[in-house]
Amino acid sequence: MKKILLKSLLILLLLVNTAFAAEPLPSWNDTASKQAIITFVEQVTQDGSPNFVPIAERIATFDNDGTLWSEQPMYFQDYFIFDRIRALAPQHPEWKLKPAFKAVLDNDVKAFAALSWPAVQELIMASQSGCTTEEFAQAVKDWTATARHPQTGRLYTEMVFQPMLELLDYLRANGFKTYMVTGASQEFVRPWVEQVYGFPPEQVIGSNSKTKFVMREDGPVILQLPEFVLMVDNVGKPVAINQYIGRRPIASFGNSDGDLQMLQWTTSGSGLRLGLLVHHTDAVREWAYDRTSDIGQLDKALDAAKAKGWIVVDMKNDWNIIHPFEKKQ
C-alpha cells in the first residue's frame, strides 16, 4: 500500500509540474473563447474567490458526436452499424426482406438517411443485441482498431478534436470530474473512450439497452437485449445526468440542439457556470454546417447561446489545429 501511495504522490507532483510547465490549450488561438474558458476555470478553482467551487462539485459534461470528434457525413456509430449488420447478415436471411436492413446491406447511405427513427432503432438494436456485454465490447474494439472513415481514410478514433483533448486535460488538472453524455449507445462508446479521451467507463453515460443477468454453466453473463431503456438526447441528457451523477454540472460542452437542455440545466444552477457550443465553421479542415444540417443541427441552441452568453467556438478561427494528425511531425 505504501508503494501505491508514494507512487500517487509522485504522479501528483508530475501533474503539478506539467500544469505549470506548459501553457494550457495550445491548439486554441488567443481569442475570446479561450480567454473565457481560462477565466471561468481560474474563478471556480481559486480558493477564497466568491465563485470558488469545491472539487467534489466540479462536474463537467461533454457531448461526443460533433463535440469531441467529427460526425460527418454520418454519425460514426452508423458506420459501425453498417459493418456490424453486414457481418451478422449471413445468420439472418430474414433481414433481406426488411427495407431498413436492405438499405444497410446494399450500402445505400441515402436510403438509410431517409429511414424513420423506429427503423433506425431496430437497426441499432440488431447491431448490439443477442450477445453478452463482453462479446459486444470486443466487437467494438475490433472495429475501432481497423475501420476507416470513407472520406479521410483515417481511423475514426483519429478524428477527435485536439483542442477538446487539451480542454479535457486542463479541466482534469484543475480538479474537474469529466463525464461523456452522449446520445450514442453507451455500449458502443465505453470500450474505446477511456484510451482515446481518458473517460473511465463509469464516467460515460449514453443511450443504452435493456440487459439480462443469466447464469450459464461456466458462470454468469449479462446479455444485451433488443430494447432501449434510456435515450440520452435532448431532455434525456439532464434526466440521465440526474440519474447517474445526481449533481448538476457546473460546465457543459455540446455542439447541437440535442445538447440544448443539458446546457440549460447546467447554466441555470446557482453560482458561476459555463456553457460552450462547438460551431462547425471550417469546411476545409473539417465540415461547415449548422441550422439546416440533418446531422448535428445547431439552430435553437445557437439562439440560446446568444441569449444566455454561452461560448460559441468558431472552429475555423478559434482552433489552430482540429485533428491531432494535422500536427507538424
**Residues at the site binding a second copy, with contacts judged by CB under 8 A:** 1-9, 12-13, 15-16, 19-20, 41-42, 45-47, 55-56, 59, 133, 173-175, 177, 186, 190, 200-202, 204, 208, 211-213, 215, 219-220, 222, 229-230, 235, 238-239, 242-247, 261, 264-265, 268
Between residues 19 and 87, which has the closer beta carbon with respect to a second copy? 19
Q: How far is the CB of 112 from a second copy (least distance, A)?
A: 28
Cα angle at 42 between 37 and 43, to 5 degrees? 100
Q: How far is the CB of 315 from a second copy (least distance, A)?
A: 27
Q: Kind of pairing, strands 219-230 and 204-216?
A: antiparallel
User: Which residue spans within 139-268 are E strands per DSSP?
Assistant: 177-185, 204-216, 219-230, 251-254
Between residues 108 and 134, which has the closer beta carbon with respect to a second copy? 134
Between residues 233 and 286, which has the closer beta carbon with respect to a second copy? 233
Between residues 59 and 159, which has the closer beta carbon with respect to a second copy? 59
Q: How far is the CB of 1 from a second copy (least distance, A)?
A: 5
CB 43 within 8 A of CB 273: no
Q: How far is the CB of 103 from a second copy (least distance, A)?
A: 30
CA end-to-end distance (rounded Å), the chain: 41
DSSP 3-state assignment of 274?
Answer: strand
Between residues 244 and 325, which has the closer beta carbon with respect to a second copy? 244
- Determine phi and psi for 167, rounding to 5 degrees: -65, -40
Q: Map grid coordinates 462539485 to a residue.
A: 57
CB 233 within 8 A of CB 65: no
Q: How far is the CB of 134 from a second copy (least distance, A)?
A: 9
Q: How far is the CB of 190 from a second copy (least distance, A)?
A: 5
C-alpha pair distances (Å), 109 with each of 18, 71, 99, 104, 151: 45, 14, 13, 7, 14
Between residues 151 and 243, which has the closer beta carbon with respect to a second copy? 243
